[in-house]
Amino acid sequence: MFWFGTFTLPIEVQPGASLALPVVFKPTAAGYSTGVMTFKSTAAASPLSVDLNGTGVAKNGAVPVLGVTPATLNFGNVTVGSSASLPATLTASNAAVTISSDASTSSEFVLSGLTLPATIAAGKSVPVTIKFTPNASGAASGQAGFTSNATGSPTVAQLTGTGVAQSSSHYVSLSWNASGGKAVGYNVFRGTSSGGPYEMINTALEASTTYTDNTVVAGTTYYYVASAVNAEGEESAYSNVVKAVIPN
């Protein structure tokens, strides 16, 4: 906490003169503190602001230290759309530590378990949980940071994990009768409503009269149609609609 000595306001300062204004710093906790001193006057540059800072030290001279264990958390492989959680421990050493905020550098990692601000007595620990929810396949990384009055703040834990694409045991096998025209291949379309809209799901013209859809999602109902394409690239109208219900 910062405050001024005792003054009788307003104070008039003559041109060319100076005035000493003592500022008192009385920390209420160990750690780094900041403040701003503002003067309003008749001067053109009013108001004038001065930045203040100081470091509070425990009475016994001990500097508070905050540690996180483990310092690195690896969540391994996690399916996209799912989550995995790992515990970590925050420990105060030398003196009490007050944690004012926590944050993650990546939205895929979320911190929980702390009600802030939180004060940890010297020699004591508190648990924290970090959850990894990958939003895409591939490696992910981030940092969990805990801002406090401890030396070296923020205290940081390194976070890593790998998102893995969902795998499905469900599939839909389709077959149809050959077109009566001179078809050189077929396109297959899928939608979630009987009347469409439909989206083509084959990446190349299908030469046979069968197709397997391996990209279905459990619990979803699909509707399929097919079209025939001739050598000139002309495409027929849609076939009749086939319904497929994917179990959970």
pLDDT in tens, 176-213: 998 877 888 899 999 999 988 999 998 888 888 999 98
* 199 & 241 share domain: yes
Least confident of 9-13, 105-109, 126-130: 9-13
* 36 & 69 share domain: no
Least confident of 72-76, 231-235, 236-240: 231-235
Residue with tokens 């050959």: 178
For the stretch 218-236, pLDDT in tens is: 889 999 999 999 888 889 9
Q: What's the confidence (pLDDT) of residue 53?
A: 80
- Global confidence as pTM: 0.48
Residues 38-59, mean pLDDT to the nearest whole number? 77
Residues 15-40, mean pLDDT to the nearest whole number? 73
One-letter amino acid at 243 equals K
Q: Which of 118, 141, 164 is the last residue of a domain?
A: 164
Whether 15 has a pLDDT exceeding 90, the answer reads no
Instruction: Say if CB 140 and CB 162 are below 8 A apart.
Output: yes
Q: What's the confidence (pLDDT) of residue 29?
A: 62
Q: What's the confidence (pLDDT) of residue 228?
A: 94
* 69 & 160 share domain: yes
- For residue 24, the enclosing domain spans 2-56
* 234 & 188 share domain: yes
Q: What's the confidence (pLDDT) of residue 30?
A: 57
CA–CA gap between residue 123 and residue 89 (Å, rounded): 12
* 23 & 70 share domain: no
Q: Which are the contacts of 71, defined by CB distance < 8 A and separation ≥ 6?
A: 157, 158
Higher pLDDT, 182 or 243: 243
**Long-range interactions of 151-157: CB distance < 8 A, separation 24+:** 151/31, 151/63, 151/64, 151/65, 152/65, 153/31, 153/32, 153/66, 155/66, 155/67, 155/68, 155/90, 156/68, 157/68, 157/70, 157/71, 157/72, 157/73, 157/88, 157/130
* 84 & 151 share domain: yes
Q: What's the confidence (pLDDT) of residue 233?
A: 84
* 190 & 227 share domain: yes
- For residue 101, the domain's CATH number is 2.60.40.10
* 76 & 156 share domain: yes
* 74 & 24 share domain: no
Instruction: Say if CB 178 and CB 172 are below 8 A apart.
Output: no
Local structure of residue 153 (DSSP, 8 states): P
Q: At residue 153, what are phi and psi to the nearest 5 degrees?
A: -60, 140
CA nearest to 187, candidates 171, 172, 207:
207
For residue 90, the tally of other CB atoms under 10 A from its CB is 25
Q: What's the confidence (pLDDT) of residue 7?
A: 56
Q: What's the confidence (pLDDT) of residue 3?
A: 55
Q: What's the confidence (pLDDT) of residue 84?
A: 87
As for how many domains the chain has, the answer is 3
Q: What's the confidence (pLDDT) of residue 131?
A: 92
* 212 & 241 share domain: yes
Helix, strand, coil content of the chain in percent (nearest 5):
0, 50, 50
Whether 152 has a pLDDT exceeding 90, the answer reads yes
Whether 6 has a pLDDT exceeding 60, the answer reads no
One-letter amino acid at 93 equals S
The mean predicted confidence, pLDDT, of the chain is: 86
Instruction: Say if CB 88 and CB 130 are below 8 A apart.
Output: yes
Residues 45-67, mean pLDDT to the nearest whole number? 79
Q: Which of 110, 138, 164 is the last residue of a domain?
A: 164
* 197 & 147 share domain: no
Higher pLDDT, 57 or 12: 12
Whole-number percent of the chain with pLDDT over 70: 90
* 74 & 159 share domain: yes
